[in-house]
Amino acid sequence: LLSEFHFRCQTYEGGFGGEPFAEAHGGYAYCGVASLVILDRYRLADSESFLHWLVKRQMRFEGGFQGRTNKLVDGCYSFWQAANFPLVDGEMAREGRLPTDGLFDARLLEEYILTCCQDETGGMRDKPGKSRDLYHTCYVLSGLAIAQMYSASREPDGILGGSQNDGSINPVFNLTTLSEQFAVSFFGERSG
């Protein structure tokens, strides 16, 4: 039932809205795709249409992602949009289809994040001229980790600043690999 609801939220553009017939939005797209992956129902989605919508959200001039069609780039979509690529990659690999590697410019996203989203006093922000906040710090840094994972997978020296800056995360849960392992161990002990 839940996966059928998610399927009905996919829009004519290919993205996902918060409810059927709503506008496609980056945050809802991520939540919809991650939910379908968790439920093992991603195959219900129109993957080609979704990828077509998704690749058009990265703006070539800025390098960052917009959340909706005809909107400005926002640092938080560095995660909400870019995290969809490894999610879809995993599903396509399970189906024996070609991965999406290379469908977004990870290096350009890294440059946008490091040039435009860092606040001089620490933390991350939506875009230049905006104030830093915890929300954007979380999702911009998570987006940076996704971009670096993709850069490293395509070229070993592709990470800006070097491989010591690569922080691997699980894109389904937005957890570092270490935190994910701890959670699995912690909750696994309690369920058995």
Our answer to whether residue 31 is catalytic in this structure is: no
Catalytically annotated residue among 6, 28, 42, 74:
74
Our answer to whether residue 41 is catalytic in this structure is: no
Catalytically annotated residue among 8, 52, 127, 133:
133
Our answer to whether residue 25 is catalytic in this structure is: yes
Catalytically annotated residue among 6, 9, 25, 112:
25
Residue written as token pair 């945050």: 27
Our answer to whether residue 126 is catalytic in this structure is: yes
DSSP letters of 123-162?
SBBSSTTSPB-HHHHHHHHHHHHHHHHHHHHH-TT-STT-
Catalytically annotated residue among 9, 76, 116, 117:
76
Our answer to whether residue 133 is catalytic in this structure is: yes
Our answer to whether residue 136 is catalytic in this structure is: yes
Our answer to whether residue 42 is catalytic in this structure is: no
Our answer to whether residue 77 is catalytic in this structure is: yes
Backbone phi, psi, residue 55, to 5°: -65, -25
Q: Distance between CA 124 and CA 131 in Å, rounded? A: 8
Catalytic residues: 25, 68, 71, 74, 76-77, 126, 133, 136
